[in-house]
Structure 1
């Protein structure tokens, strides 16, 4: 910020006086409260906390440690790296489910780490059975209409028959039947649920005895008890990220607060130490308010490494500005920021650069 606004101070001055100019703060107490509220709502189904994408950019290790301390016994991730990181922290305190289709080498590594594998492909089923040195724990996936992996209903009887044969041979143990649904409309989801129920029965008729069934993620699991079955995979809601254009969620609050410190002062605006290189979308400029010591102020513009915010009386270098969070300083939620630029609530959080420090607070 230079020129007509007559800015004083530098980012280096701010760093010297106030430490790092930007950090993503993860509230232990808010995450614990969210998990408690979720478990109370979903009971008797169990909560599976999804830790994909580095636990929605909150940090797999920190989220896993808090979750297992709060009694969560299931964690899930798409990729084996995130799942393996969660398992390394959780140990025997939680079961970890990984649902990406893996290569032979990745399968062996995942099984050695103690991961439970989502299997929605006949070829993958064979790879898992061949890789297992002891019975591999698997969850078989039926495609209920979303077409996001999973065995088609017409192929399902042969698939589960083969799984039952591998189970009798001691190569696998079928712990679960699962699927994804579109969560696009109640009617479509009801149709998917009927396909799922029929698939579970076919699996049982083939001699399988799955201990858990899981179909719903955040939205359907929260709103529709009949979709909960034995486990609900809760992703964004665990972190207090509501659905775009959706209502606030009772008992759930944003866990992460993106903090940027004031690095320079001007007559009409201050400069804060965050920009598009840190993951802040440039299109947010002029569209949203951020939180300051004086309450909400307009985000005027987003540059590469700094951004401009409408000033307030007494603004000082080193002051903290909340770009998004639970609203304690007048800031909007990540979902509100996402809605302002036509995207989902997860995106403003997931875009935060991994170089931005994650700091766990009380």
Structure 2
């Protein structure tokens, strides 16, 4: 591993937090040695065993990794030190945590803000209340950071899951086209007289399974796309309940199945002419055919020959017909929208009951 990659793998934030906590603890130990002054302030001195136990919580070398165990150890040490902070330290540290809580928009920030009045008192009872208020705020902040890291991990897990499923969905969506192109090419080579878009019609009508396969594949693609769009919209607020109700692997597979079935049902609604119109495809003109590539001029215009007709370049490309494009778009929408097919079936059923 290069030095650059090693440097990038270190978490300076965690190392700095340990350093700041150590300096705070060292200051507490130094102040605890002034026993007379602490006695006047009604503060108990630290016993030697207590100091050794807390000292043992600190790592001997800097911690650069940022795993769950490392943050847990830091939180434990922070709370142990917080229980033994002096009055002057509490008056300094509490406002800092309170400002952080306000910045992070802690849910119960107002409750902690009310405890700020405790830090103006000087009685012995007030010290214990100050420590309790400080520890309560510290615990809430730590819990907020733990939940934030957990949710961040959940989002990364969902993103990885969607990516892996998306790769397979893309392969499935492309597969019918690859098979169709292969068969179209072989059919064109065997039947040189039948070329152009019409050849695509003939092959498509002679192999209707391609229509159903493309419809199912694009219904699958639409259902997947709906989940990706929803994930993008929720990424900032995605939580555990959202993952459990929408992004578990099994639930994603069910959503893909629903989208595929919806696209197939919509295809048969078109085939039966229950729904029709100019916005819908003419299923007798489905196909993929050869389209001529024309020569162009320097001005990006089609170059005409002497009789005014375009001059072919000698190249052709395979393109879906307009009606096939319409069919695939509607198949995608049938998979994307969970209500498109159900609403269509409801309307159809209502018309038959009149």
| TM-score, length-scaled by structure 2 | 0.22
Structure number, greater radius of gyration: 2
Which one has the bigger strand percentage?
1
Higher relative contact order (CA 8 A, sep 6+): 1
Which one has the bigger helix percentage?
2
